[in-house]
Amino acid sequence: EVQLVQSGAEVKKPGESLKISCQGSGYSFTTYWIAWVRQMPGKGLEWMGIIHPGNSDIRYNPSFQGQVTISADKSISTAYIHWSSLKASDAAMYFCARQAYPSEFYSYNWFDRWGQGTLVTVSS
Amino acid sequence: EIVMTQSPATLSVSPGERATLSCRASQSVSTKLAWYQQKPGQAPRLLINGASTRATGIPARFSGSGSGTEFTLTINSLQSEDFAVYYCQQYDKWPTFGQGTKVEIK
């Protein structure tokens, strides 16, 4: 069974760093692109960026470029998103999602599997 | 950025009735349009891709149509488990989502 399992909820203070994870199983992790999607409280979905775990090719939504860092460790089938200095406005639910169809080269696509979400709370 | 606009924001429907949800793109996305269902506290679930292709395991009461800038998700004979928020997503350019339509019990 294809699964994406995310790390647990986090409570952080403004200015702190954070890295959350998304571990894939049940499929060839290195052949499917993994995206990160933000959902602020009571709001819709925003695509933040995407990584190919096999070759570490990364694309960012311009709105999130420089604000987060996406990475992956293919040896443990895990993708990450990292903040070096959290802001209160980073408080949200974050989902990882597998882009449909394996491909070495990036092309826009839909998302066929989602992680359960990681809730990030940022408060002083 | 392609802006996706969904309407209505909230749709009140009685169980057994039909729900019709709309999604409009700010420019043509051909049929590069997906629909997702999200229930409270859960991740989105893929329903439709390619504007009209049901994902694996999705019941036939869900159907999608449209191309270019205008799209529709139709849910026939609403079941209790269908009350949720629905999002459209275009993937003609870097992905963007609509703001969602909440389907609630009338």
* Strand B70-75 with B62-67, pairing: antiparallel
Is A103 near chain B, with CB under 8 Å? no
Interface test with B, best of A6, A61, A108, A112 (most B CBs within 10 A): A108
Question: Which tens digit of pLDDT belongs to each residue from B78-99?
Answer: 999 999 999 999 999 999 999 9
- Does residue A102 have a cis peptide bond before it, meaning omega lies within 30 degrees of 0? no
pLDDT value of residue B75: 97
Determine, for residues A95 and B34 on separate chains, whether the beta-carbon distance falls below 8 Å.
no
Residues of chain B with pLDDT under 50: none
Report chain A residues whose CB lies below 8 A from the CB of B97.
44-47
Distance CA A70, CA A78 (A): 11
Q: Do B99 and A110 touch (CB under 8 A)?
A: no
Asked if A112's CB is within 8 angstroms of B43's CB, the reply is: no
Taking residues A34-56, report their average pLDDT: 95
* Chain A residues in contact with B43 (beta carbon < 8 A): 95, 97, 114-117
Q: What is the pLDDT of residue A107?
A: 85
Inter-chain contact A44–B93, Cβ cutoff 8 Å?
no
Instruction: Give dist(CA B80, CA A8) in Å, integer.
Output: 30
**Alpha-carbon distance A54 to nearest alpha carbon in chain B (angstroms):** 21
pLDDT at residue A85 in the model: 97
Answer whether residue A101 shows pLDDT above 90: no
Q: Which of B42, B46, B93 has the CB atom closest to A112's CB atom? A: B46
**In angstroms, what separates the C-alpha of A87 from chain B's closest C-alpha?**
23
Contact A77, A28 (CB under 8 A): no
- CA A2 to chain centroid: 17
Give the pLDDT confidence of A10-23 residue by residue, as tens digits.
999 999 999 999 99
Distances (CA, A) of B101 to A74, A112, B60, B61: 37, 20, 20, 18
Contact A113, A98 (CB under 8 A): yes
> What is the C-alpha to C-alpha distance for residues B66 and B69, in angstroms, rounded to an integer?
8
Task: Please tell me the predicted confidence (pLDDT) of residue A106.
Answer: 85
Comparing CB atoms, the residue among A97, A108, A117 nearest residue B92 is A108
* pLDDT band (50, 70, 90) for residue A104: confident
* Contacts with A108 from chain B: Cβ below 8 Å: 32, 91-95
The answer to whether the CB of A94 falls within 8 A of the CB of A45 is no
